Chains A and B, each alone.
Chain A
């Protein structure tokens, strides 16, 4: 009986051997994909930083922020780079930046060319007293409202130089008013989700 079963098994292997390989591979890929989807960071567990620069040399600053606030539930920090001289920069800022980024690192020339009221978080006095930690802060002001915090002056060195190829301009750190990670400062009433605010203080603290 065992002899015949063994022979039948060998026979089935001859014809069906691709199934013995393909099905486990498909199952493994499916398991991997499902686990990845289950553990994909939620909107309140990830940050995206939009950087208007000529290039990104690395993402060390993203890793630093992620490590620093992993205990607060931060699972992923990404950077989106776009060159302001690029013809599609405005579209990229509008679609990718305003659509999904939490923080912006923008040069003054870019800020001068946009309407900040539509997308940037206005810095109120309560916001400044709570989250601006620089001793002598300088702001980007438009229509008597502060929209960005000066994080790097033109010609000065900055700790982000290792990762970001800045243009020779003043750079401001701004927050997206539609971000879900700015507590109850923006459009959403979710004070416990403040990862973008923590990253905001960290970026100026290292500066």
Chain B
């Protein structure tokens, strides 16, 4: 089997990324409160300009924090959750016929960026389409190639060309 994604490595990478970003946020929040406390405690008697500056500063910080939790951290947390689950979860193995990889189209699967791999399989004389997700390009694979794939939550983790 050729690994498309190294689950153990990625799990470690995203766990460490999650810790780093969270630590960065905690440190910057502490810095923010420290700066605000000093600015307020040692503010001059005529503090109007400082007051406006602190309001603008706190607004920017809050917006940045909301963006961080709404986009960046949320994304890292989803990757982390996926790879942690993949580490210990049950993986599915199946034999499919490769059709195509939609390389130009990136979609969001539970907040993760993936590409769609079109495959099909034949069962009882009937053809069933099966769409899988891949994180990165892999191959090259010719259309019609028979492949064994290992997936977790429909994401391809490894594959092997059988014919």
Which among A18-26, A96-104, A146-154, A175-183 touches the partner chain? A18-26
A4–B63 contact, CB under 8 A?
Answer: no
Of the candidates A1, A4, A12, A31, which one forms a contact with B70 in the assembled complex, judged by CB atoms under 8 Å apart?
Answer: A12
Taking the complex as formed, is A38 at the interface, i.e. its CB lies under 8 A from any CB of chain B? yes
Chain B positions 97-136 with a Cβ under 8 Å from a chain A Cβ = 106, 108, 111, 113
Q: How far is the CA of A38 from the CA of B58 in the complex (A)?
A: 18
**B45, B51, B74: the one within 8 Å of A32 (CB):** B51
- Asked whether, in the complex, the Cβ of A16 is within 8 Å of the Cβ of B55, the reply is no
A39 within 8 A of B: yes
Q: Chain A: how many interface residues by the 8 Å CB criterion?
A: 21
Complex: A9 Cα to B36 Cα, angstroms: 27
Instruction: Give, as a whole number of angstroms, the nearest-CB distance from B139 to chain A.
Output: 21
B74–A8 CB distance below 8 A:
yes
Interface string of B36-74 (1 = CB under 8 A from A): 100011010101001100110011001100110011101
Interface of chain A, main secondary structure: helix
B40 to A, closest residue via Cβ: A34
Q: How far is the CB of B61 from chain A (nearest CB, A)?
A: 8
Total interface residues on B, CB under 8 Å, equals 25
Choice from B41, B54, B106, B108 contacting A38 with Cβ under 8 Å: B41
- At the interface, yes or no: A28 with Cβ under 8 Å from chain B? yes
Residue from B51, B54, B66, B67 in contact with A23 in the complex, judged by beta carbons closer than 8 Å: B66
List the B side residues contacting A118 at CB < 8 Å: none
Give which listed residue, B54, B55, B59, B71, contacts A8 with CB less than 8 A: B71
Contacts of B67 in A (CB 8 A): 9, 12
With A12-B70, A12-B71, A23-B66 as contacts: A4 and B106 at CB distance below 8 Å: yes
Using a CB–CB cutoff of 8 Å, the interface residues on chain B facing chain A are 36, 40-41, 43, 45, 47, 50-51, 54-55, 58-59, 62-63, 66-67, 70-72, 74-75, 106, 108, 111, 113
A residues contacting B by CB (< 8 A) are: 1, 3-5, 7-9, 12, 16, 19-20, 23-24, 27-28, 31-32, 34-35, 38-39
Given contacts A8-B70, A9-B71, A34-B40, 10 further A-B contacts (CB under 8 A): A1-B113, A19-B66, A23-B66, A24-B58, A27-B55, A27-B62, A35-B40, A35-B43, A35-B47, A38-B43
